Structure 1
Amino acid sequence: MRTESLIMPYRDLYEICQKQSLHIPRNFIKSEVLRLTGKEKIRVVCTDSDPSLCRGMFISFGNNESNIARQCGCDVIVLARGMNRCWQRIVYIKELMHLFDAHAESTFGGHEFDTLLSEMSGAETPTRSPQWRSEIKAFWMALACLCPEDKRINFMELRKSGKIDDYSIALQLRIPQQYVPRLFQQNYGLIIQEILNNGS
């Protein structure tokens, strides 16, 4: 049982991605994640769920309440049909980041899942659950992998000078345009460094 998240392997993945070109194939990232976490495989299952409600989720093979994981015999990424390639790409990579989760961050049963759904729907809670914090962390981990830092700095300079817009950046990175500003928010570097150092 993992009691700590796999921060060193994620840091290794981050460093590997820094050496890649602008468009990093998702299968390349998947292969590296499996290698770094010691997993043999992960399956993707597409559903007819409404993407506006749930674009994707990660189901651990350790989740005893999941028929899908038992049938597949491994961890599973569930993706909603109907998303374009940019959405599929970032949702897939974000869910893949959950392979780095600590045991306490995983959703193994109905209670944890219900709590997570309540938090995601905006319900007020005294403290955020480890599962909620894992969702936020996985997003930033994915974004940092999909946009190497030197490319991000170059984009930032071009963007400031008006030589490139968010749509053009999204096309080159193949991510949804709405997430491009996240790459340039003031605390981006602090968020990524905190994850690399502490996993939180």
Structure 2
Amino acid sequence: MLFRDLYKIVEQEFTEAPVSFDFLRSTVNKGHAGVGEIKIWAITYPVPNHQAHYVLLYTDRTSGYDDEFDVAEIRYCDALDGDPFERRYALTKELMHVFDTDAEKTDTREKFIKLLKEIQNQPLAAHASAMFNSELDTRWMAAIILCPKYLRDKYYPDYWANKIEDFELSEIFQIPEWVIGFIMDDYYDEAFELLMKKGVA
């Protein structure tokens, strides 16, 4: 399954917003080759950080005759439970890491530390790793899968005519209000086209 395959399933299942996170996770668990299970865990941090992380736990197989599959977790700061829209977006963004290539996977401690340094330093594109670029891609993937183009485009004219506000769209799509700014930007169309081609030779 590629990102565009998941998007097409969403197109068939949802005629109006919001798109269900549980549906997305269930669809990935059932239909994405190489993914056996993705568990969701809330973690209490001494200092809440309002973040979530996709963690590849191990690779397994049911029997010697079956293909290997990944078992992963999405761990999130339980402070996000106080803001369901932020939690939903954060969990969806992390779920999109199932589409990472081998180069994009943060599957060792060393790679995780390297990624944290890149997030801190915001390297120039020429110096960014595939892992760091994946962080940017998953931000857009989450926005597009939760605000599919055919639903987003319904509100686009009214948004730019000031007939509908950010907070209203936030309620409709059940996403944080700050995400509305970039899903209603013209760059959305370019990001959409690029992500529909991701993984296609």
> For the superposition of Structure 1 and Structure 2, which TM-score range results when normalised by the shorter chain?
0.7 to 0.9
Q: Which runs of 5+ in 2 are unaligned?
A: 60-69
Say whether the 8 Å CA contact 1:10–1:196 is kept in structure 2. yes
Q: Distance in 1 between matches of 2:199 and 2:137?
A: 8
Q: What is the letter of the counterpart of residue 114 of structure 2?
A: T
Verify the 8 A CA contact 1:18 1:145 in the aligned structure 2: no
Q: State the Cα distance separating 1:140 from its structure 2 match.
A: 0.9
**Take 1:55 and 1:100, find their aligned partners in 2: how far apart are those partners?**
20
Q: What secondary structure, in the 3-state scheme, does the structure 2 residue paired with 1:40 have?
A: strand
What corresponds to 1:56 in structure 2? 52
Partner of 2:4: 11
**Conserved 8 A contact 2:3-2:198:** no
Distance across 1 between alignment mates of 2:127 and 2:192: 22
TM (norm. structure 1) is: 0.84
Match of 2:39, SS? strand
Q: Cα RMSD over matched residues?
A: 2.0
Q: How many residues are treated as equivalent by the alignment?
A: 183
TM-score of the superposition, structure 2-length normalised?
A: 0.83
Q: Summarize the Cα distance change of 1:103–1:51 in structure 2 as closer, same or farther, 3 Å threshold.
A: farther
Cα separation, 1, equivalents of 2:25 and 2:150: 22
- In 2, Cα distance between the equivalents of 1:124 and 1:148? 30
- CA 1:35 to 1:157, structure 2 compared with 1: closer, same or farther past 3 Å? same
- Could you tell which deviates more after superposition, 42-51 or 157-166? 42-51
1:81 equivalent in alignment to 2:78: yes
Give distance in 2, aligned partners of 1:136 and 1:58: 14
Unmatched runs of 5 consecutive residues or more in structure 1: 1-7, 64-72
